[in-house]
Amino acid sequence: MAPEVRPDCTVYTSGEHCPMCSAGHAWVGLVRIVYAGSTAQLTQWREAMGLPPGPVLALPINAVASGVPVAGPALELADELRALHERSAAAP
């Protein structure tokens, strides 16, 4: 993607960016992110499923990339997202 068009783009994602993706997003000059499920939700869901925390700090996008406008989570999708994560965790 050409650098001059990046500021006009919105990235849509099912899950909030991890710290690495948040940093990459900011460094390449992308701007707005819209996500369905937050890192905080995922952390709570994993804990409720008895899963260990991930190997990377569960930081929200703006803790890493403070100038990036974000929208999320989409609370109306929370039950559906949680069910997907539960199915994924139960898969062999």
Query: Long-range CB contacts (< 8 A, 24+ apart) of 21-26?
Result: 22/59, 22/61, 22/64, 22/65, 22/68, 23/64, 23/65, 25/61, 25/65, 25/68, 26/64, 26/65, 26/67, 26/68
Interface region with Zn ion, contact rule CB under 5 A, candidates 12-20, 40-48, 73-81, 83-91: 12-20
Interface region with Zn ion, contact rule CB under 5 A, candidates 10-18, 38-46, 59-67, 71-79: 10-18
* Residue (18 or 26) nearer to Zn ion, CB: 18
User: Minimum distance between the CB of residue 4 and Zn ion, rounded to whole angstroms?
Assistant: 25
Q: Which of 21, 59, 68, 78 binds Zn ion (CB under 5 A)?
A: 21
18 binds Zn ion (CB under 5 A): yes
Residues that bind Zn ion (CB under 5 A): 18, 20-21
